[in-house]
Amino acid sequence: MHLNKLKDFRLEKLDDLTIAELQKEMEDGVLTSEELVLMFLENISERDQDINSIIEVNPEALNIAQALDIERKISGPRSALHGIPILLKDNIGTADKMHTSAGSYALKDFYAMEDAGVAAKLRKAGAVLLGKTHMTEWADIMSDEMPDNYCSRSGHIKHPFGDYDIGGSSSGSAAAIALSLAQASIGTETSGSIINPADENSLVGIKPTLGLTTRSGIIPLAPSQDVAGPIAKNVADAALVLSAIVGWDTADEISVGAKFFESYDWLAHLKKDGLQGVRLAVPRHLFEEQITANELELFNEALDVIRSLGAELIDPVDLGVAEEEAGDEVQFFEFKPSINEYLGKSHPANPIRSLDDLIAFHNRHPDQMLRYGQDKLEKSNATSGRLNEPEYVEALKRKRLLAGERAIESTLDKLGASAIVLPKDFGGGIGATAGMPLITVPYRFEDENGPFGITFMGRAFSDPTLIEFAYAFEQATNGRVKPPFGSKDGQE
């Protein structure tokens, strides 16, 4: 493509095209993967300087794209993601020239010895791994004082839309897609870390059922809740990326539940009438005291849209559990043994081989590492690391029963409902604790607090059904808004 046409394509079309539309452009010979990578790199150079969502660009991205273009000509595309640039959160290991640091300066020189399972699946599908994104340091188990938008490796990230809460811990994975720095990204969630920043950036975020995607090769926080999932501009793109990373991984036993979905037709669930005849529950007690009047009005408007699309709403319902009961005690117990295992098996050249080593490094470099303290790390390190404390076992049992059986499954069964609908990322803690799927969809922009979306939450492995609901709502509302890209965008 001629340089002027490439510039026009980037400024006039790139922000809004879907993966399917980009594939059509490449199949028709209008566009190549190499040109697509170049355009996203130019967006990064122009749009991200004041935002800081990208922590590192893959130096091999252009060569990978060139090779995929040649492969397309010889044997055709591998999948619907062939040649599509995707970003990864900085805790997802890649066996290449990119670092994997969980946002920590202590691991700024750390290379993973092998691809994380989700990275390997994306490569197999022909995606271009374009770079790593900013994240809340150690997925927010560093300090109670640390804001969502900070990590010691790259500093603060700003909200693309202005003076709003960026969300965490997958903040960079969301902000980068809002700015159109890649076509989609992968975030990770332990409790709200995909849904929250996706909502804050007017994007679609899918937190899959625990076990639908593999956790292998991802720097852990709490394995009983950790999961990777896509962040994208629209439901169709999110579903396509999810379909590429779903599947059984022998390195992660919990992913056996994904065997059923390995050759599953996810796109069959992109139904404009996906809300027709369904019953949805609205647990207002989870959000009414915390939401603003304007946000409540927007949510009620969204519910009217859902009704108009043929859904029946059971409003209100009581789940029998409060959001704060989800808590985070389990994370403190699980982080120590899981991070010790991860670091202990890392490359022998890595000097940080345990949580003890990490805390000691922080203490030796307080100006760089302890800007906000490390009380959460110290609290985790004070546990035995053996996961045999009565407090841990009780918390795990109580929360799984409270959030899963009582709050979600029992309520839905009793009401004959298919899912729960909520404003923004409310309910994320309960869903995460129970290992249940959630998907958030943009709805409007609200001046006081920025982008505003709604979230659907369902039973385990009801992810395809949630995609139906989200797609129907998205098609009826077209609620995504784009941030201002700045005065430098498109200038020579």
| Active-site residue list | 89, 169, 193
Q: Where are the beta strands (DSSP E) in 21-127?
A: 54-57, 85-89
For residues 469 and 419, the answer to whether their CB atoms sit within 8 Å is yes
As a whole number of angstroms, the distance between CA 98 and CA 78 comes to 24
For residues 134 and 90, the answer to whether their CB atoms sit within 8 Å is yes
Torsion from C-alpha of 311, 316, 320, 326, nearest 10 degrees: 70
The CA-CA-CA angle for residues 133, 138, 139, to 5°, reads 70
282-300 as b/e: b if 16+ CB within 10 A: bbbebbeeebeeebeebbe
Whether cis (ω within 30° of 0) applies to the bond prior to 230 is no
Exposed (0-12), middle (13-18) or buried (19+): which is 49, by Cβ within 10 Å? exposed
Which of 306, 326, 279 lies closest to 428 in space, CA to CA? Answer: 326
Q: Distances in Å between the alpha carbon of 47 and those of 43, 175, 457, 485?
A: 6, 11, 33, 6
As a whole number of angstroms, the distance between CA 224 and CA 206 comes to 18
For residues 201 and 452, the answer to whether their CB atoms sit within 8 Å is no
As a whole number of angstroms, the distance between CA 287 and CA 425 comes to 10
Helices marked H in 309-371: 329-344, 355-364, 366-369
For residues 207 and 438, the answer to whether their CB atoms sit within 8 Å is yes
As a whole number of angstroms, the distance between CA 448 and CA 444 comes to 12
Do strands 184-189 and 85-89 pair parallel, antiparallel, or not at all (unpaired)? parallel
The CA-CA-CA angle for residues 39, 42, 44, to 5°, reads 115
Give the three-class secondary structure for 445.
Answer: strand
For residues 61 and 221, the answer to whether their CB atoms sit within 8 Å is no
Tokens read off for 449: 């607090």
